[in-house]
Amino acid sequence: MKKGLVALFFFCFGAALYADSALAEIKTDFGGSFRLRQEYWENTTDLQTSATHTDRDFFRLRTSVWGKADLNNDVGAYLRLTNEARYYIGNYKPSFEADTSNRQNFDADELIIDNLYFGAKNIFTLPIDVRIGRQDFLGMYGEGFVILDGTPADGSRSFYFNAAKATWRVNTKNSVDLIYISNTTTDQYLPSLYPARQASGYEGNKRILNVSSEEGVVLYGKSKVSNNLLLEPYYIYKSEDPFGSNARLNLNTFGARAVVTAGAWKVRGEFAHQDGQYTSVKDRKADGGYLFVGQKFEKVAMKPEWELGYVYLSGDDAKTANTHEGWDPIFSRGPQWNELYIYTIISETSADGGAYPGYWTNLHLYKAGLKLALASATNLALSYQYLRADHATSGLSSTLFTNSGMERGQIATLMLSHSFTKQIDGYLQAEYFIPGNFYVDNAHKAAFLRWQLQYKF
Distance CA 385, CA 309 (A): 9
* HEC per residue, 370-394: EEEEEECCEEEEEEEEEEECCCCCC
pLDDT at 6: 45
Contacts of 51 (CB under 8 A, 6+ apart): none
Q: Hey, where are the domains in the chain?
A: 24-114+226-456
Q: Which residues of the chain have pLDDT under 70?
A: 1-24, 95-102, 194-204, 243-245, 350-355
Q: What is the dotted CATH code of the domain comprising 24-114+226-456?
A: 2.40.160.100
HSE-up of 308 (CA within 13 Å, CB side)?
Answer: 0
pLDDT at 21: 44
| Residue 6 phi, psi dihedral angles, 5° rounding | -65, -45
Q: What is the pLDDT of residues 121-149, one digit of tens each?
A: 999 899 999 999 999 999 999 999 999 99
**Residue 145: helix, strand or coil by DSSP?**
coil
Contact criterion met (CB below 8 Å) for 94 and 36: no
Distance CA 274, CA 70 (A): 40
Which DSSP letter does residue 109 get?
-
**Residue 5: helix, strand or coil by DSSP?**
helix
CB atoms < 10 A from the CB of 147, how many? Answer: 24
Q: What is the pLDDT of residues 345-375, one digit of tens each?
A: 998 975 454 567 899 999 999 999 999 999 9
CB atoms < 10 A from the CB of 306, how many? Answer: 13
Q: What is the pLDDT of residues 153-175, one digit of tens each?
A: 899 999 999 999 999 999 999 99
pLDDT at 22: 44
Contact criterion met (CB below 8 Å) for 142 and 332: no
pLDDT at 242: 73
Contact criterion met (CB below 8 Å) for 150 and 162: yes
Among residues 57, 163, 81, the alpha carbon closest in space to that of 449 is found at 57
Output the pTM of the full model: 0.91
Distance CA 378, CA 420 (A): 9
pLDDT at 102: 67
The beta-carbon contacts of 279-282 under 8 Å, at least 24 apart in sequence, are 279/246, 279/247, 279/248, 279/249, 279/250, 280/246, 280/247, 282/247, 282/322, 282/323, 282/324
Which spans in 281-387 are helix H?
341-344, 347-350
201: left (phi over 0), alpha (psi -120 to 50) or beta: left
- Classify strands 75-88 and 112-120 as parallel, antiparallel or unpaired: antiparallel
The beta-carbon contacts of 169-175 under 8 Å, at least 24 apart in sequence, are 169/127, 169/128, 169/129, 170/127, 173/223, 173/224, 173/225, 174/221, 174/222, 174/223, 174/224, 175/221, 175/222
Contacts of 101 (CB under 8 A, 6+ apart): 95
Distance CA 450, CA 155 (A): 14
**Residue 19: helix, strand or coil by DSSP?**
helix
